[in-house]
A and B are shown apart, each in its own frame.
With several copies, the nearest count.
Chain A
Amino acid sequence: MVTSVGYTAQELMVAAAAREIHDGEVVFVGMRLPLIAFALAKRTHAPNAVGLFENGIVRDEPSRELLYTMGDPPNVVGAEWCTSLSNIMCLLAQGAVALGFIGGAQVDRFGNLNTSYIGDPCAPTTKLPGSGGATDIASLSHRHIIIMEHERRRLVERVDYITSPGFGDGGDWRARVGLPRGGPAALITTLSVIRFDPQTKEAYLDSCHPHSSVEEARAHTGWDLKVAPTVHMTAPPTEAELQVIRAIDPQGFWTHV
């Protein structure tokens, strides 16, 4: 849905996600919005970023056509490397991947993500598809970004199941369970950008999108969401950014939903 400001929430999320990619970084791309964010970053501030796809593909330039899956033939043409999933995962495991993107159905105040079971895993009310590579990305990349709808049933006090570890119950939990590095750097929702306290690892509202507000973001969060003293408005996508996004997804398959 295009808002009165002339761009969709998804387009803003893509722009926000793109800004998380630094030039020269090796990025685990994933599908949907992150794929477009990667292409946007490449064409703006991060021309030397490299994208990895877990099916075995490494690209330093985005595919010329919109992808519906990472296995679409245009994603292979012009790739820098087409290899095995294991080899790609090795790069992740050895610490060569700066940033990864994942999405999910439930996230909690410590950035743990659930894409597996709603309810009791032995008798779930909803069976979700599962991890795919998300558990690996959340376990092994230096930082990761979570992208999802901002709804009270999705942003919950505690996820029913940790598919992709965030900061567990906070503090030094990741080190305690043996994870070598990482953790979520941001949760980009349809309403806001949420980050995590460097010490406690608890989520806090960092910025609200122009079409939303602190009150709305908090009202749609299932716990008492902290707010940064420096809370501000998420920078909207620029005209130049929108042009790139719309050139990539002219039908709005992923960005007009």
Chain B
Amino acid sequence: MPSRKLMSMPDAVAAFIPDGASVALGLALESLIPFAAGHEIIRQRKQGLTLIGPISDILFDQLIGAGCVSRVIAAWVGNVSAGLAHNYRRALEGDKPSLVVEDHSNFSIALALRAGAMGVPYLPTRSLLGSDLLRSNPHFRIIHDDGVPLVRVPALAPAVAIVHTQRADDQGGAHCWGNLGISEDAALAARQVIVIAEEIVPSSVIRSDPNRVLLPAFKVCAVVHEPGGAHPSPVQGHYGRDHAMYHDYHQASRTAEGFARWQSEWIDSVSGRQAYLSRLGAGRWADLSRPATRTPRLAAAVDYGY
């Protein structure tokens, strides 16, 4: 059957990320971050988004700086190897914050999404007890179970989750590997999922290893072929992390004007990911994706035969 799911990044963002949507992204933590999708959201000037994720390694900061975001539901927003997230700070410091933050821990955001996936109003945990997350996020509540206090973590069901993967077929079947964080919980909780893939492969490749598949294809609304789409975050088997990019961004975004220049250079003035990679430079990209020291490290063979 012909695929209506395979589409360009601009089309996927236009079709499935309306203003005001709740979007889960950055779900594998520091790897597989869908930067290309985030940059397209910025180019399309989306407004009033709710961002949901565990930690965000600068992508949330970019979406906030570009004015796309009205709410952040997350455990940590910063720059993992370089420090604070400057746009995030600017949006929240002082007495007129331009952003609502719902504070979570990594475990509680995973539980919230799992509750959404499970169709229950909440999941309980003994984490967070005694912390001020219970004060600053009014959605948490202490409940008692036979006298034992537990934190009630209310369910989250994002309208869309965006996941970056190593390979996908045009129906939405996808393989990803390496550290995956809360990708599975979020993909199951989301009403729809946009799958970004380094490679588009025949369905037979995906179906040769159904245990490696991330989510059922019927949840997938769009498949986008976007090689290099997670840069500067790493993709196991494809490219390493571009540490310098995070440090350069950290310096550039210290002021609002600096961020605006960075946005202009790396987002607004490039038409898409291919142009972005060209700007990055073939040499730099080759160093990340095909370093001289790189040796393939193949997973041991697995036979599904009978």
Does the CB pair B216–A31 fall under 8 Å? no
Closest to B84 in A: A129
Does the CB pair B179–A76 fall under 8 Å? yes
Bound CA–CA A116/B157 (angstroms): 25
Q: A70-95 interface mask toward B, CB cutoff 8 Å, 1 = contact, 0 = none?
A: 11111111111111111101111111
**Chain A residues positioned under 8 Å from B117 (CB to CB):** 87, 90, 94
**Restricting to A84-136, which residues have a CB under 8 Å from any CB of B?**
84-87, 89-96, 116-117, 121-136
Does the CB pair B241–A135 fall under 8 Å? no
Task: Decide if A234 is an interface residue (CB 8 Å cutoff).
Answer: no
Known contacts A129-B84, A139-B129; is A71 also within 8 Å of B241 by CB? Answer: yes
Does the CB pair B127–A135 fall under 8 Å? yes
Bound CA–CA A123/B101 (angstroms): 12
Does the CB pair A89–B92 fall under 8 Å? no
CB-contact partner of A131 in B104, B189, B215, under 8 A: B104
Bound CA–CA A200/B253 (angstroms): 45
Does the CB pair A127–B215 fall under 8 Å? no
**Chain B residues positioned under 8 Å from A139 (CB to CB):** 126-131
**Chain B residues positioned under 8 Å from A116 (CB to CB):** 103, 132-133, 136
Bound CA–CA A165/B131 (angstroms): 6
Task: Decide if B226 is an interface residue (CB 8 Å cutoff).
Answer: no
Does the CB pair B216–A81 fall under 8 Å? yes
Known contacts A86-B114, A139-B129; is A69 also within 8 Å of B236 by CB? Answer: no
Closest to A120 in B: B95
Bound CA–CA A100/B149 (angstroms): 23
Bound CA–CA A168/B128 (angstroms): 13
Task: Decide if B116 is an interface residue (CB 8 Å cutoff).
Answer: yes
Bound CA–CA A122/B101 (angstroms): 10
Does the CB pair B30–A82 fall under 8 Å? no
**Restricting to A139-161, which residues have a CB under 8 Å from any CB of B?**
139-140, 161
A18 CB to closest chain B CB, in angstroms?
20
Does the CB pair B119–A55 fall under 8 Å? no
CB-contact partner of A123 in B28, B80, B94, B211, under 8 A: B94
Does the CB pair A80–B210 fall under 8 Å? yes
**Chain B residues positioned under 8 Å from A68 (CB to CB):** 80-81, 241, 243
**Chain A residues positioned under 8 Å from B297 (CB to CB):** 77
**Chain B residues positioned under 8 Å from A240 (CB to CB):** none
Task: Decide if A179 is an interface residue (CB 8 Å cutoff).
Answer: yes
Stretch of A56-64, A186-194, A204-212 with 4 or more beta carbons under 8 angstroms from chain B: A56-64
Bound CA–CA A42/B225 (angstroms): 29
Does the CB pair B75–A93 fall under 8 Å? no
Does the CB pair A125–B93 fall under 8 Å? yes
Task: Decide if A163 is an interface residue (CB 8 Å cutoff).
Answer: yes
Most buried by B among A53, A130, A136, A140: A130
Bound CA–CA A79/B206 (angstroms): 9
Task: Decide if B31 is an interface residue (CB 8 Å cutoff).
Answer: yes
Task: Decide if B165 is an interface residue (CB 8 Å cutoff).
Answer: no
Closest to A132 in B: B76
Task: Decide if B262 is an interface residue (CB 8 Å cutoff).
Answer: no
**Chain A residues positioned under 8 Å from B129 (CB to CB):** 139, 165, 177-179
B219 CB to closest chain A CB, in angstroms?
8
CB-contact partner of B130 in A124, A161, A162, under 8 A: A162
Does the CB pair A117–B136 fall under 8 Å? yes
Known contacts A60-B217, A71-B233, A79-B207; is A85 also within 8 Å of B133 by CB? Answer: no
B44 CB to closest chain A CB, in angstroms?
27
Bound CA–CA A58/B177 (angstroms): 15
Can you spell out 16 A-B residue pairs with CB atoms less than 8 angstroms apart?
A26-B218, A81-B210, A84-B184, A85-B107, A86-B110, A91-B216, A94-B117, A116-B133, A121-B132, A126-B89, A131-B75, A132-B106, A136-B108, A162-B131, A163-B133, A177-B130
New A-B contacts (8) at CB < 8 Å, excluding given A85-B110, A86-B114, A129-B78: A55-B181, A71-B29, A71-B241, A72-B31, A72-B306, A73-B31, A80-B217, A130-B104
Q: Which 10 A-B pairs give the minimum distances between C-beta atoms?
A: A71-B30, A73-B306, A129-B78, A178-B149, A93-B119, A82-B210, A132-B76, A165-B130, A177-B130, A71-B31
